[in-house]
Structure 1
C-alpha cells in the first residue's frame, strides 16, 4: 500500500475523529480534547489516536478512560462520514509531547538566565 494513501487516511481520520469528539462530547464531560495525530497500521485495521487533554493528570486519565469506553460510538460516527473497506479499531493515548516540549523550552530559558551573569571587563 502506498505511503501517500496511508498519509491521506491518517489525516482524514484525524480530522473526522476530532470533529466527532468536539460535536458529541461537551467540554464539561471530557475537558478540552485535541487530536494531535493518528497512527494507522499497515492493514488499516487498527489506529492509535494521540490526544492532548487540558487538565491535571487525573483529569487526563478520566478523559482517556471515557474515550476508550465510547470508542465504538466514535468509530461508528466516523465510519458514517469516512468510507473505508474496514474502519480501524481505535485506541486512545494521551500525547504529552506538547507538555514535554514546553518543559524543554523552560529548561533552556533557565539555562540562559543562569549564563547571563554580568561580565566585568579588564582595563589594562
Structure 2
C-alpha cells in the first residue's frame, strides 16, 4: 500500500505543478514551487508544501491566499487528470525547510568569514 501512496504522491505533485503553471491565472501564485506532497494512507487528504522566491511575509500571505482560492480549480483538474475513486482534500502549507536551509547557509558563511579574519 505504501508503494501506491508514493506513486500517487508523485503523480499529484507533477499535476499540481502543471496546473499552477498552465491553468491558475492568479498573480499571487506566480513563483510558487511545489516542494513536497504528503498524502494520507487512505488517500483522502493531501498536504501540499510549497515555497516562494520572496522572503517577504506579505508575499507569503498573498501566495497562501491565492492557493487557497485556487484550491477548488486544482482539485477539479486533478479529478480530470488522475484516476482515483475520490480526489483527496487539499491543504497548502508553506515549506519551512527552504528558509531553514538558507538560514544554515548564512550561518556557515558567517563562520567561514570569521575564520578567514583570524
TM-score normalised over the length of structure 2:
0.91
The Cα of 1:29 is off from its aligned counterpart by 3.7
8 Å contact kept, 1:31–1:54:
no
Gaps of 5+ in 1: 119-124
Distance 1:103 1:83, change over 3 A: same
Q: RMSD between aligned alpha carbons?
A: 1.5
8 Å contact kept, 2:26–2:66:
no
Distance 2:105 2:7 in 1: 32
The Cα of 1:85 is off from its aligned counterpart by 1.1
Distance 1:29 1:109, change over 3 A: closer
Aligned residues: 117
Distance 2:9 2:109 in 1: 35
State whether structure 2 residue 44 is matched by structure 1 residue 34. no
The Cα of 1:36 is off from its aligned counterpart by 0.5
1:8-47 to structure 2, matched below 5 A, reads 8-26=7-25, 28-47=27-46
TM-score normalised over the length of structure 1:
0.87
Which structure would you say has the larger Rg? 1
The Cα of 1:26 is off from its aligned counterpart by 3.8
8 Å contact kept, 2:20–2:29:
no
8 Å contact kept, 1:54–1:60:
no
